[in-house]
């Protein structure tokens, strides 16, 4: 809700309000807010209330930059270890993604997209890096395809190029394309947030 702008920066939703919105008790809401405060997404106030943290363009760009560097290394390692089985698996996920995009099936697009990237990360055989990579996903909103209209087309093109680079065993190109793919997503998300006034002060 924070990452997609449903909770505006600087706003002060109460724990009761959030619990009602989410259909849960206040206990898990408070635990979640404390965790988000540790991650910098909310601010814990002295009176036990919370306010939604203020992100700027640089914050979003930095998050995607960090993810892109890890994704680049994972793709390089996956390419170095690649065999025909990996290329076939990536191609199958890409076919599913392309079909879902043509049909406008957002849930299937999300599933196929994550399956594509999980296959690369698994092939990299770098569990410590993969664990770190997952932490950066905390700052990338779910439902990306429903937020950014241009993303399905861009993603199809990027995935095709990554599969081709891995198939040809071009380690440097696979890494660079993966990094560019993530950073492009960040720029599209920034554009989306900007067009929806995400950086403006909330109404009084």
pLDDT value for 145: 67
**Residues 124, 27 within the same domain:** no
pLDDT value for 71: 97
- Highest mean pLDDT (candidates 12-26, 40-54, 71-85, 100-114): 71-85
Confidence of residue 8 (pLDDT cuts 50, 70, 90): confident
Whether 203 shows a pLDDT value over 60: the answer reads no
SS3 169: coil
Mean pLDDT of 150-176: 96
Does a structural domain hold residue 10?
Answer: no
Determine what percent of the chain is predicted with pLDDT higher than 70: 95
Determine the structural domain holding residue 43 and report its residue range. 15-52
pLDDT of 88-114, one tens digit each?
999 999 999 999 999 999 899 999 999
Write the CATH number for 45: 1.10.10.10
Q: How many Å apart are CA 118 and CA 124, to the nearest integer?
A: 10
**Residues 19, 90 within the same domain:** no
pLDDT of 27-52, one tens digit each?
999 999 998 998 888 999 888 889 98
Q: What is the domain count for the chain? A: 2
| pTM (two decimals) | 0.82
pLDDT value for 1: 83
**Residues 30, 111 within the same domain:** no
**Residues 22, 98 within the same domain:** no
**Residues 43, 134 within the same domain:** no
Q: Which residues contact 25 (CB under 8 A, 6 or more apart)?
A: 19
For 110, counting Cβ atoms within 10 Å of its Cβ (0-12 exposed, 13-18 middle, 19+ buried), the class is middle
**Residues 74, 108 within the same domain:** yes
């Amino acid at each position: 809700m924070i990452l997609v702008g449903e909770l505006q920066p600087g706003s002060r939703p109460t724990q009761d309000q959030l619990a009602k919105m989410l259909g849960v008790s206040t206990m898990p809401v408070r635990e979640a807010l404390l965790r988000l405060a540790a991650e910098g997404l909310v601010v814990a106030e002295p009176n036990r209330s919370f306010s939604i943290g203020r992100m700027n363009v640089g914050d979003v760009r930095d998050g995607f930059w960090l993810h892109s560097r890890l994704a680049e290394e994972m793709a390089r390692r996956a390419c170095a270890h690649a065999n025909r089985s990996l290329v076939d698996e990536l191609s199958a996920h890409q076919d599913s993604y392309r079909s879902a995009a043509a049909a406008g099936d957002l849930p299937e697009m999300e599933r196929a997209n994550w399956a594509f990237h999980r296959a690369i990360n698994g092939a990299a055989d770098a569990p410590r890096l993969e664990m770190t990579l997952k932490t950066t996903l905390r700052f990338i909103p779910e439902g990306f395809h429903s937020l950014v209209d241009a993303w399905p087309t861009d993603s199809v093109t990027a995935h095709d190029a990554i599969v081709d680079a891995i198939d040809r065993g071009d380690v440097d190109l696979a890494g660079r394309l993966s990094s560019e793919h993530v950073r492009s997503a960040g720029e599209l998300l920034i554009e989306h947030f900007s067009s929806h006034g995400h950086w403006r002060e909330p109404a009084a």
